Amino acid sequence: MNEGDSAPDFELAANDGTNVKLSSFLGKKNVVLCFYPKNHLFACPSKKVFEMAQATIAVYPKIKELGAELFAISIDTVPDQKKFVQEYDVPYLHLSDTAKTVCKAYAGLNIAGLAKRSTFVIGKDGKISKIFRDINPEKHGQEIISSLQNLP
């Protein structure tokens, strides 16, 4: 998948019990999809995942102000996503892709079958405007804001 490609549609369950369908934002909002491996990993416990998300959490109000939606996606189950979001008071929805189809289509999977850490910025037109694959956790929130400011 490359910048300029049409973003494949999907529907995934969120930590709040709702379903999120990407195409429902078409023509209405820009969308940011943040893929990450898993909430609980031996070398990367939930607290570390949360610390890595801090730059994104910090700019979330600005993302909303810019009229965009942000979703975090991993292979965790809905109950695991709910627990993680509640435990760390994360302000945006985490989507569950236990079938790994969306993670595979967008981010790709690593050798352990987990999503590779990456972010996709999708315009209102449904096209991928920016892909971040080498993510610097401290700067990533501002990178997302910059890419959203360049969209109509």
**Which positions are catalytic?**
44
For residue 73, give the nearest of 136, 129, 8, 138 by alpha carbon.
8
Looking only at the bridges linking them, the beta strands covering 118-122 and 94-96 are unpaired
For the record, the structure tokens of 114 come out as 């987990």
Please give the span between the terminal C-alpha atoms of the chain, in angstroms, as a whole number: 22
